[in-house]
Amino acid sequence: MVCPAAARPVAPRCPLARAQARLRAIVNHPAFSPERQHQAEQLLAAATDLQQLTKWARLALVESERWEDETLAREEAQAGRPAHLPDPY
């Protein structure tokens, strides 16, 4: 299912457009290099299968979460005082 461009308001109503927007938001993360973001954008432009987009979004989310966990672990393993003290609230 492809949504016509004119039918895309600020918040897309078409399930395919929503899935594309969600995947774009997930891939716009430091875990993904600019090259991979560009590749993802090319795939998104050609994608018409909602299930495939949902699968890609799920995989991209897992990858970005793994990247965040690894980055936090590296930062916590560094010696010295933390750059930011814990928030008392």
Average pLDDT, the chain: 85
pLDDT > 90? residue 79: no
Residue 37 pLDDT grade (very low, low, confident, very high; cuts 50, 70, 90): very high
Q: Are 47 and 54 in contact (CB under 8 A)?
A: no
* pTM of structure: 0.72
Residue 10 pLDDT grade (very low, low, confident, very high; cuts 50, 70, 90): low
Residue bearing the bigger pLDDT, 84 or 74: 74
Residues contacting 16, CB < 8 A, separation 6+ = 1, 2, 3, 47, 48, 50, 53
Q: What is the DSSP letter of 29?
A: S
